[in-house]
Structure 1
């Protein structure tokens, strides 16, 4: 290295080549030297003084060779600081501090250098250096820069040369702010006014630099810059239209200007002025506004009002690169809106396309809707211009606009259709010459994507007058040479068909415009709710044109797989929507045979199966419309081909086949094929059953029994399938333990029992009882199955009930048999009044409350509550009285009462019968809250109160609200828990009527987050979590008040930590952990449901703090939040990466104790896995930013560390990296 330095620092003129070689060698050493090598630190400290000395010599030299040498030295120094700077940042090392100081003293004067290349590279070197210097040196440097900015700024009027030096100093503040954003934040209030002031100096390069600097402040210090947002908006709006060399009235949207805009466009494209660099200022301003929108989406409504109109006026910007940036800025505004809308669309159903969730979103939608005419008016001319990038960006903008508004362009279709037609139809003499000559592949794909979204989000009848333009354009795209364009064209054709021939919903009377994604779904169960109507006569020829075109493509053998699948999907939509318009001979002689042929092809069979399923779901297959009778001659072959795939190893193929067979069985007469179908189904269920296959198999069996001859079909199923179902229920109960699977299973047993074969029902019950004895997990499902089988009218329930009662009262008895008997008695009580059969049953159940087994006691309470449904007047008063007087068994009595209330609310008849008892029960329950209750008992009381409140909200909610101010914490806990529970009650708690009554009370309830009692705060946070998950629109406007209270609960409170002595050991117990964990869980829910209403930077700060929390669970939750943030708001997260490094490093370098047990080792590995995944997601935010120089140096160095083979987490990180890559590929394929 010493020799390389000597060669590099030579000043002999004829040895320039040697110096260059030495410079390359030094750069290679710096870049390639291993960071974990023992000599790296000492080598860095030895190399740096030599290079600093050489830089000082070249600065004073006047030779031409020294100029290039100077640049080379600065480049090498930049590499050293960025890659090896950690070896200069040892706090207690005097030598390190001296090197830091020398580096600053050598580099800083170069900001005054006459050469711009030297100044720029010096700024880069300082940017790489400052993360590693000590705080006092950092402070001195920033203060020196501020002082010099003031001096240069005051003197630049007299000395114009100082303008460039001032520009370099301002650029240096930008660089320091990027690399050390949090250290720089305290100085922002001094720097920002200076930079803002110098924007007004008459120098476009300086003006551009000032705007770029403010842009970097926004990106790196979004929280600190918040107070300057109005000023920044004003600045951006002023300079985004700054064009001193081009006179333009500010009212760009006036009628006169619009009339002359075509001529202006042509003139604009011809305009040229090599000396005019004002476009750089406008471009920087557009990016400034984009950064502001991306980092402060909480002000979305204000941004729309202030920025939106000006951006629309600037859509006619004469400089193309600036115009694209203006489009992208408005696109960012739309994207922020659509993120908020999509975050909430899963939990809230709106009735109007303009009614987004919450008043803020509604306001945004109204603001944007008011801007639509102006947007379309300007874009309609840009979209048929000469510039392909402009047209591409324009269609992207329009697509996002439609998605945000779920339509909104009803009155603008006439202006948009010519632009859609423009890339596909070649018409001489049009604007810009021949259309086809002004297009490219990406533009065509973007136009097709827009058209699909456009059609899906507007009423079909709006497009009918324009089909003579749209259909030929899409057919032309279907003939394109590029397969992606052809496949995209068929996707659009599917939507066009639904637009040409929409169905009318019987209930709403409105057109049904479901997405063509139904084609690849399982079934369209809503088909019976829609009815075909006669299409307009003008649309019929277009349907025939699409049919003929699609059929030819499906027949072709030389097309790509993507095009074949898309064409088959389009054919399915054609038959589903318009098979009455297709000639019957074509349907029977062309369509069905070609589909049968495609079923036999391995490449196309999956899509063909889904296509046939969708066809069969058509309302034309419902009586009295039997237009799909063309399937009948081929039905046996079709069913045989499809059902044969149940034996295939391809999982999706098996699932699609079962769904298709179920649909065909339900729609057509397939009874003759039942034996073969059941044989294949038996083979599939015995080979593999899971949560996806079993429900659709049960659905198929139910359809077979309902559609065919019930008696003969039941006999077939009894002989071939029932034993398999019983085996699954007993051996794999998790597959049918809840949800749709359990509902289908119960329906299956009921239909089987309806065959009135009492002997077989009894046989099934016996088989269930005989097989279940070894698996207790199956008891709840078996008990429901037994109860469903007892619905057989001929079956005598008494013997079965006697057997169960015998098992219950047996002493000592077999515990498992007793447990199953109790569950079964309760389930049977749903269908039968058991008092006549067992008059003393309730006494037996009450006596079991004294059982030593908790399991038996809980099962007795369950059974007691359920049998009360069968005879409410007799059993319910007994349970209520037990609750009133209970002391020892009050929890079990309450549990029984809760079962009665919960089950009674499931049907109107039982709810009506129960309603007379609610006032008395309510009073008793509130009396219980005045006593000291255990947590479990208090929870049951809360659940009962919550359930009752959903039955009559007008009566009971005010009573709940009146108890919020109770002096007893237990009462406040009970009230909050009751409200929280209502959000999980699917039928009543989620109803609009109940929510409208609850809405005024929600904020009063949630303000208890600041209650003095820890338990009240914990339960209130749980309530906030429930509201955020189920009905986020109730809290969106209140998050500004609630979030600071929530963040307070995420802090570790030392007052709740105490030491417990356990023999010779001392153990720390944190009683505040549950509350803190609930707070972080609530934050995660809010991130998914209310992101547009969250001040994101404060949120990110608490999420990052969570990864340093001592609790394992909170670390994991915080990792999940950061992963989610990297997806939904990468820009905001990217500026905080450096602040997370220390906590992430602490996790990834942690080790388990030598004495750690297996469980501790697994938890630690889980934590490392989660942390590595978080690092990978966070790293992606760097690549998503616009400029590579925005990378966070500390995080970048940390990322290199964890990827090194010597890192403790190297193996786990490599594994997780592969998992994330595979997941991304799968998501991309699905998309």
Structure 2
């Protein structure tokens, strides 16, 4: 059993490590699966878990030649009386299906057809049985669905019986959730499985689930319905479709954006499969969508699906869903509705962004004539005295310009530029976004003028900031879409022009420098070698502002997915991050923030250099007396700690390091010393220090280290819990103090749970006299209850 555990760990760390040794491992796996001894259950589970992990992490051909031999042991385990063995064996069968036939469109090897038949027999026995554990029932349903979806052409005579059984499980409250997922798997199959006869009752059952309180069930039902509609949409019964729209449209709200996204996706798929339902969608789904578009919470998948709804509606050609009518409805929502009393409920900023994006995706596919008419309408709105209309018009122009060329539209550029001088801050910000969006549509036409404007605004920080934000929009948009749109990239000449301008702006005001750093980082994603070479020359600049911008750009170069900049950055990253020893505190903070970004997204880039970087990082966590100054305000004196923001950034970086690379910090004395220092610091530093203490105490490697220093941690924790507020403290101060107490008590709870903490006399005395007596007792018990509830929810998930 120990060897199976080691092998499973090995496969998890090095997925392809066993590929050349499968033949040697098969006899041992079979021996474990067929072991008849009374104590063999744990061995079987470990062997099966390893087998599943190995098949999942290797290409199908690696195990394909061994499937017939392995199947006898796995099928025997499916029939085991102990439910955990049977459930794990069914999961192995599910993975084995993908090994037998990785591509359902390709024929199955003749020698593997008997394995498919044998697998069906053993799974069907579990699927049909009633008196078995819930976990086995669920695994049998999902495994059978996967088998039929992948190899259904080999089991054509058995498919009707399987569908009947799955429909029975769908109607059973205990098994309906896995049955819903099973039908979703069948609907996504590349094979023709003959589900038409079961469609009507299945869709009726799934539709009824949309009224249930169980959120997971509603999510699964919506996903299954969308898959069924995508494959069988044209043949669906109109009555069932009407009921489906009625139920799903009621779920479109910002109360649950995940559910709303699935409901909108279902409506869009239905429109594409049955354009005749456009009238029903306009009546049921569109009103809910127009309410949702005004929500400041709208984002992500829900926003993307809502954007897809409008062109899908317009594309049906239905008189009830003409582009002009939909656009008018969207603009009305963006401007804000008037209630019966005549007052205006102003649209939130984010809501107008959402409306603008929906307008753009509706108008641009409708053709150039519709774009020209819409731009003319928006320019008229821009002349309105209503500021909400002006802002909406600018945002719409920017989003339309981002998706199509507006160079032929008269007065667009001049109108947007004029809005940059508006007295209203929101309109100026919208004009900045609009200018960047319009430039994206035709870089050759609009970019030179934008660069010239930025250069001409030197010394005018507010105007230059807005123009740099517009340039940032251009660089960010081009960086995001270059892979999909070859026309979107910068020319070599444009790259040099942008780079020269950004470097020249690196000594501007702070708000401008932050935008310049972001632009440089985004530009590095487009042209890594040119930008990095230019940035490296700035590391030795005599201007602290330039050095701050240069290292600040690193934060925006690291993205979640692999990128060509990674290889170049790995070679020079240490040069940038070593600016943590720069004499200027702003540069040091920028370097700390850059390190946090790198560790969060791609810790591998910096792992080799941490030995040099960590001492510098620990140094930023210390309170420096020379950075504390006293300002004489007449009646009283005020102490200002210029190092506080830097220390906060340093502790946040340590927190990210502890999550991403725990083994690097857990046993380091310097880390524990920094943590102890943080517990004595300002309350803005104490909070992340408490969080790190909780993480460290809960980790296997960090617990013993914390235990060894437990006596030293008592004093700072007790001082935090016994600190008193001033009698004239305002509500904000009281709330912050209460939150700090809760944070500290969560840390105390984590320490109290450490095995061996009771041996520390100072800690047990502190618990007795301070925590478990007086008003803190109830708060401590509440913190424990909160933790137990969170653990219970995690176990359920």
Question: Quick check: 1:843 aligned with 2:417?
Answer: no
Superposition deviation, residue 555 in structure 1: 1.4
CA 1:447–1:1201: 2 relative to 1, 3 Å: farther
Superposition deviation, residue 842 in structure 1: 2.3
- CA deviation map 1:676-728 (0-9, x unaligned): 21111123336x7412112222222222223x143x23333222211110111
Greater mean alpha carbon deviation, residues 631-640 or residues 451-460: 451-460
**Residues 298 and 354 of structure 2 are in contact (CA less than 8 Å); yes or no, is this contact kept in structure 1?**
no
Question: Quick check: 1:1123 aligned with 2:723?
Answer: no
Question: Quick check: 1:1114 aligned with 2:689?
Answer: no
Q: Name the residue aligned to 1:38.
A: none
Q: Name the residue aligned to 2:341.
A: none
Question: Quick check: 1:497 aligned with 2:97?
Answer: yes
**Residues 33 and 48 of structure 2 are in contact (CA less than 8 Å); yes or no, is this contact kept in structure 1?**
no
Q: Name the residue aligned to 2:50.
A: 450
Q: Name the residue aligned to 1:478.
A: 78
**Residues 613 and 660 of structure 1 are in contact (CA less than 8 Å); yes or no, is this contact kept in structure 2?**
yes
Q: Name the residue aligned to 1:399.
A: 8
Q: Distance in 1 between matches of 2:749 and 2:599?
A: 28
**Residues 577 and 591 of structure 2 are in contact (CA less than 8 Å); yes or no, is this contact kept in structure 1?**
yes
Q: Name the residue aligned to 2:531.
A: 956
Q: Distance in 2 between matches of 1:1094 and 1:924?
A: 41
Q: Distance in 1 between matches of 2:486 and 2:26?
A: 55
SS of match in other structure, 2:638: strand
Q: Name the residue aligned to 2:213.
A: 649
Q: Distance in 2 between matches of 1:934 and 1:909?
A: 35
Q: Name the residue aligned to 2:762.
A: 1194
SS of match in other structure, 1:503: coil
Question: Quick check: 1:766 aligned with 2:339?
Answer: no
Q: Distance in 1 between matches of 2:674 and 2:775?
A: 25
Superposition deviation, residue 1066 in structure 1: 2.9
Q: Name the residue aligned to 1:702.
A: 268
**Residues 598 and 604 of structure 1 are in contact (CA less than 8 Å); yes or no, is this contact kept in structure 2?**
yes
**Residues 868 and 876 of structure 1 are in contact (CA less than 8 Å); yes or no, is this contact kept in structure 2?**
yes
**Residues 1106 and 1115 of structure 1 are in contact (CA less than 8 Å); yes or no, is this contact kept in structure 2?**
no
Q: Name the residue aligned to 1:862.
A: 433
Q: Distance in 1 between matches of 2:667 and 2:636?
A: 43
**Residues 758 and 764 of structure 2 are in contact (CA less than 8 Å); yes or no, is this contact kept in structure 1?**
no
Query: How many residue pairs align between the two structures?
Result: 773
Question: Quick check: 1:733 aligned with 2:296?
Answer: yes
Superposition deviation, residue 556 in structure 1: 1.5
Question: Quick check: 1:559 aligned with 2:132?
Answer: yes
CA 1:404–1:982: 2 relative to 1, 3 Å: closer
**What does 1:812-823 align with in structure 2 at a 5 Å threshold?**
813-823=385-395
Question: Quick check: 1:1101 aligned with 2:672?
Answer: yes
**Residues 621 and 674 of structure 2 are in contact (CA less than 8 Å); yes or no, is this contact kept in structure 1?**
no
Q: Distance in 2 between matches of 1:605 and 1:503?
A: 28
CA 1:1133–1:541: 2 relative to 1, 3 Å: farther
Q: Name the residue aligned to 1:1163.
A: 736
**What does 1:1037-1052 align with in structure 2 at a 5 Å threshold?**
1037-1052=608-623
Question: Quick check: 1:925 aligned with 2:502?
Answer: yes
Greater mean alpha carbon deviation, residues 1133-1142 or residues 1041-1050: 1133-1142
Question: Quick check: 1:1213 aligned with 2:780?
Answer: yes
CA 1:805–1:1062: 2 relative to 1, 3 Å: farther
**Residues 1135 and 1192 of structure 1 are in contact (CA less than 8 Å); yes or no, is this contact kept in structure 2?**
no
Q: Name the residue aligned to 2:543.
A: 968
**Residues 942 and 975 of structure 1 are in contact (CA less than 8 Å); yes or no, is this contact kept in structure 2?**
yes
Q: Name the residue aligned to 1:1139.
A: 712
SS of match in other structure, 1:619: coil
**Residues 271 and 316 of structure 2 are in contact (CA less than 8 Å); yes or no, is this contact kept in structure 1?**
no
- CA deviation map 1:388-408 (0-9, x unaligned): xxxx43433333233233252
Superposition deviation, residue 1081 in structure 1: 1.2
Q: Name the residue aligned to 2:204.
A: 640
CA 1:849–1:403: 2 relative to 1, 3 Å: closer
Q: Name the residue aligned to 1:1057.
A: 628
CA 1:662–1:999: 2 relative to 1, 3 Å: same
Q: Distance in 1 between matches of 2:602 and 2:367?
A: 44
Superposition deviation, residue 418 in structure 1: 3.8
Q: Distance in 1 between matches of 2:692 and 2:147?
A: 44
Q: Distance in 1 between matches of 2:623 and 2:494?
A: 46
Greater mean alpha carbon deviation, residues 1151-1160 or residues 1012-1021: 1151-1160
**Residues 964 and 975 of structure 1 are in contact (CA less than 8 Å); yes or no, is this contact kept in structure 2?**
yes
**Residues 90 and 143 of structure 2 are in contact (CA less than 8 Å); yes or no, is this contact kept in structure 1?**
yes
Superposition deviation, residue 830 in structure 1: 2.5
Superposition deviation, residue 915 in structure 1: 4.5
**Residues 68 and 112 of structure 2 are in contact (CA less than 8 Å); yes or no, is this contact kept in structure 1?**
no
Higher relative contact order, structure no. (Cα contacts within 8 Å, ≥ 6 residues apart) = 1
- CA deviation map 1:291-326 (0-9, x unaligned): xxxxxxxxxxxxxxxxxxxxxxxxxxxxxxxxxxxx
TM-score between both structures, scaled by the size of structure 2: 0.91
**Residues 180 and 220 of structure 2 are in contact (CA less than 8 Å); yes or no, is this contact kept in structure 1?**
yes
Question: Quick check: 1:903 aligned with 2:480?
Answer: no
Q: Distance in 2 between matches of 1:862 and 1:1189?
A: 56
Q: Distance in 1 between matches of 2:106 and 2:372?
A: 55
Superposition deviation, residue 1189 in structure 1: 9.1
TM-score between both structures, scaled by the size of structure 1: 0.60
**Residues 555 and 598 of structure 2 are in contact (CA less than 8 Å); yes or no, is this contact kept in structure 1?**
yes
Question: Quick check: 1:1222 aligned with 2:796?
Answer: no
Question: Quick check: 1:881 aligned with 2:484?
Answer: no
Q: Distance in 1 between matches of 2:182 and 2:724?
A: 55
Counterpart of 2:163 (choices 574, 581, 592) is 592
Q: Distance in 1 between matches of 2:776 and 2:139?
A: 45
**Residues 661 and 700 of structure 1 are in contact (CA less than 8 Å); yes or no, is this contact kept in structure 2?**
yes
**Structure number with bigger Rg:** 1
Greater mean alpha carbon deviation, residues 953-962 or residues 467-476: 467-476
Superposition deviation, residue 981 in structure 1: 1.9
Superposition deviation, residue 827 in structure 1: 1.4
CA 1:768–1:442: 2 relative to 1, 3 Å: same
Q: Name the residue aligned to 2:342.
A: none
Superposition deviation, residue 438 in structure 1: 5.5
Superposition deviation, residue 599 in structure 1: 0.7
**Residues 97 and 147 of structure 2 are in contact (CA less than 8 Å); yes or no, is this contact kept in structure 1?**
yes
- CA deviation map 1:101-124 (0-9, x unaligned): xxxxxxxxxxxxxxxxxxxxxxxx
Q: Cα RMSD between the aligned structures?
A: 2.6
Structure 1: 5+ residue runs without aligned partners?
1-391, 426-434, 505-530, 621-625, 1183-1187
- CA deviation map 1:903-954 (0-9, x unaligned): 233234343355432212222222223x4x2211111122222233332222
CA 1:806–1:606: 2 relative to 1, 3 Å: same
CA 1:487–1:947: 2 relative to 1, 3 Å: closer
Q: Name the residue aligned to 1:682.
A: 249
Q: Distance in 1 between matches of 2:587 and 2:653?
A: 15
CA 1:461–1:883: 2 relative to 1, 3 Å: closer
**Residues 1040 and 1094 of structure 1 are in contact (CA less than 8 Å); yes or no, is this contact kept in structure 2?**
no
Superposition deviation, residue 612 in structure 1: 1.3
CA 1:757–1:580: 2 relative to 1, 3 Å: closer
Q: Distance in 2 between matches of 1:802 and 1:727?
A: 26
**Residues 762 and 795 of structure 1 are in contact (CA less than 8 Å); yes or no, is this contact kept in structure 2?**
no
SS of match in other structure, 2:158: helix
**Residues 1100 and 1133 of structure 1 are in contact (CA less than 8 Å); yes or no, is this contact kept in structure 2?**
no
SS of match in other structure, 1:947: helix
Q: Distance in 2 between matches of 1:1065 and 1:753?
A: 67
Q: Distance in 2 between matches of 1:750 and 1:1102?
A: 59
**Residues 1103 and 1121 of structure 1 are in contact (CA less than 8 Å); yes or no, is this contact kept in structure 2?**
no
SS of match in other structure, 2:540: coil
CA 1:1166–1:1065: 2 relative to 1, 3 Å: same
Superposition deviation, residue 961 in structure 1: 0.7
SS of match in other structure, 2:81: coil
